[in-house]
């Protein structure tokens, strides 16, 4: 990769980071291209060399952030001695919930913009410096375990949607209860869904 190419990569990363900071602090609608450019220390025109418009940037950013979250969870899993597929699932979900509790702005950003399609493709994206991808890993674990899961993708979908939408309410809005209070119910819910697909 030539010098120029590296430089371009850096600029794009700078823009993404600046945009994320602004989107999460001022909100997407109130963030202007000018804001993003000046926050990045780049000229306004430069923005358009990397993204078509604000929406284009948002889409790329959402997928990137969601993927990153799973990559981190996955990395943590590999460092820990959790046994059994269900426990691994719970570990991942707990990790993610913890992370979102600590960074509610990330949660707010992801929740508003993520759909299963974007999410699914983000998980399968090859992440630089992370050869293992979560989705691939998930599927292979499923097969290797003695567990017979009838619809592994639907199971993951159901769990992720349940976790995502309840996190949004409990963590960000504390509605109807805080995540602390809801978490045991959520874990039990995940367990029941797991049983349903694998029994």
Partner DNA sequence: CATGAATGAGTATTCATTCAT
Partner DNA sequence: CATGAATGAATACTCATTCAT
| Site residues, a second copy (CB under 8 A) | 29, 115-117, 120, 151, 153-154, 157-158, 161-162, 164-166, 168-169, 173, 175-177, 182, 185, 188-189, 192-193, 195-196
Q: Which does 148 bind (CB under 5 to 8 A by kind): a second copy, DNA, none?
A: none
Q: CB of residue 121 vs DNA: minimum separation in angstroms?
A: 24
Q: Which does 108 bind (CB under 5 to 8 A by kind): a second copy, DNA, none?
A: none
Q: Which does 193 bind (CB under 5 to 8 A by kind): DNA, a second copy, none?
A: a second copy
The residue behind tokens 């919930």 is 97
Element containing residue 151 per DSSP (H, E): none
Q: How far is residue 59's CA from residue 47's CA, in Å, rounded to a whole number?
A: 15
Residue 55 or 185 with smaller CB distance to DNA? 55
Instruction: Write the CB contacts of 36 (distance below 8 Å, at least 6 apart in sequence).
Output: 15, 18, 19, 22, 47, 54, 57
Q: CB of residue 14 vs a second copy: minimum separation in angstroms?
A: 24
Q: Which does 11 bind (CB under 5 to 8 A by kind): a second copy, DNA, none?
A: DNA
DSSP 16-67: HHHHHHHHHHH-TTT--HHHHHHHHTS-HHHHHHH-SSHHHHHHHHHHHHHH
Residue 32 or 140 with smaller CB distance to DNA? 32
Instruction: Write the CB contacts of 34 (distance below 8 Å, at least 6 apart in sequence).
Output: 44
Q: How far is residue 192's CA from residue 188's CA, in Å, rounded to a whole number?
A: 6
Q: CB of residue 17 vs DNA: minimum separation in angstroms?
A: 15
Token representation of residue 32: 């202007």
Residue 30 or 148 with smaller CB distance to DNA? 30
Q: Which does 188 bind (CB under 5 to 8 A by kind): a second copy, DNA, none?
A: a second copy
Q: Under the rule (CB under 7 A), what is the footprint of DNA?
A: 3-4, 7-8, 11, 30, 32-34, 42-49, 53-54
């Amino acid at each position: 990769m030539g010098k120029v190419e590296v430089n371009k990569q850096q600029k794009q990363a700078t823009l993404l980071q600046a945009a994320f900071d602004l989107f999460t602090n001022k909100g997407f609608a109130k963030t202007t291209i000018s804001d993003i450019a000046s926050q990045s220390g780049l000229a306004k025109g430069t923005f358009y060399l990397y993204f078509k418009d604000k929406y284009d940037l948002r889409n790329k950013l959402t997928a990137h952030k969601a993927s990153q979250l799973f990559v981190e969870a996955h990395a943590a899993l590999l460092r820990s001695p959790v046994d059994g597929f269900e426990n691994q699932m719970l570990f991942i979900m707990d990790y993610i919930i913890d992370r979102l509790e600590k960074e509610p702005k990330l949660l707010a950003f992801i929740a508003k913009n993520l759909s299963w399609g974007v999410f699914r493709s983000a998980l399968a994206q090859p992440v630089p410096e992370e050869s293992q991808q979560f989705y691939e890993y998930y599927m292979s674990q499923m097969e290797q375990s003695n567990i017979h899961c009838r619809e592994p993708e639907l199971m993951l979908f159901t769990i992720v949607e349940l976790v995502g939408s309840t996190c949004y309410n409990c963590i960000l809005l504390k509605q109807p209860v805080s995540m602390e209070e809801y978490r045991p119910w959520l874990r039990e819910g995940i367990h029941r869904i797991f049983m349903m697909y694998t029994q």
